Amino acid sequence: MPNRVVETLAASAAMRPGTGVPGHPTLDTQIFLHINAFARATPWLHPIVSAYLGTAALLFVGLALTGLFVARRRMSATAMAAALWAPVATVIAARLNQPLAAAVGKVRPYVAHSGVLALTSRAGPSFPSHRAVEIGAIAAGMLLVHRYLAVTAVIAALTVGFADVYTAAHYPQDELAGFVVGAAICLIGFDLTRRPLCWSLKLLGRTRFRRLITVTPG
């Protein structure tokens, strides 16, 4: 297995001189190829990882709903505002990432490197990872809701990121950039919208819809 990684690294450097110093693949490429070698050595894990990525959208929804539930029990306007903002930020981040990724135009690793094991055939540019942008935004939102919920969200983000690299859909750098972009959009956006959101929630708390945002009776 190590020999295969070395051979692929050499072939990648020779075929793609733009990936780093001529004759030397980048650290990002080396990490990707080692993870790809691990994927080749664990065929029993392929259907599990593929199924996990296939349900990633449900993971995002589950985190968002959990955030709303936790925020409602915390009886905090700021926490509820963050829980409501997180899914909105995710949609905004996903939209903004499309032109960004198109502008960068980085090809998928299974296209850039011959001989790698590809468990996916997803089209489109590779950097930043679209899925990482989405879960980065959700994870940042959960951090604003409750720190313990943020731990769960970060673990989910890391496992999704690893799975994307495992299937050869992305490089590690694509995932890291996606997390940063998604989290930045969520946090900056919340800083801009927090006051109007909290003000709106306080007004809602004076109506008969109060129980939607808090467990305390009116």
Per DSSP, the residues of 170-189 read: --HHHHHHHHHHHHHHHHHH
C-beta separation of 154 from 72 below 8 A: no
Average pLDDT for residues 76-94, to the nearest whole number?
Answer: 87
Q: How far apart are CA 184 and CA 133, in angstroms?
A: 10
pLDDT category at 162 given cuts 50, 70, 90 is very high
In Å, what is the CA distance from 171 to each residue of 26, 75, 138, 146? 11, 41, 21, 30
- How high is the pLDDT of residue 130? 87
Q: Residue ranges of the domains in the chain?
A: 46-212
- How high is the pLDDT of residue 184? 95
- How high is the pLDDT of residue 186? 94
Residue pLDDT, tens place only, 176-206 = 999 999 999 999 999 998 888 877 777 666 5
In Å, what is the CA distance from 111 to each residue of 93, 95, 123, 139, 164? 26, 24, 10, 30, 15
- DSSP H helices, 42-76, are 46-54, 56-74
Distance, CA of 190 to chain centre: 18
Does pLDDT of 217 surpass 50? no
For the whole model, what pTM was predicted? 0.78
- How high is the pLDDT of residue 48? 92
CB atoms within 10 A of CB 47: 10
Q: How far apart are CA 35 and CA 76, in angstroms?
A: 42
Does pLDDT of 13 surpass 50? no
Does pLDDT of 22 surpass 80? no
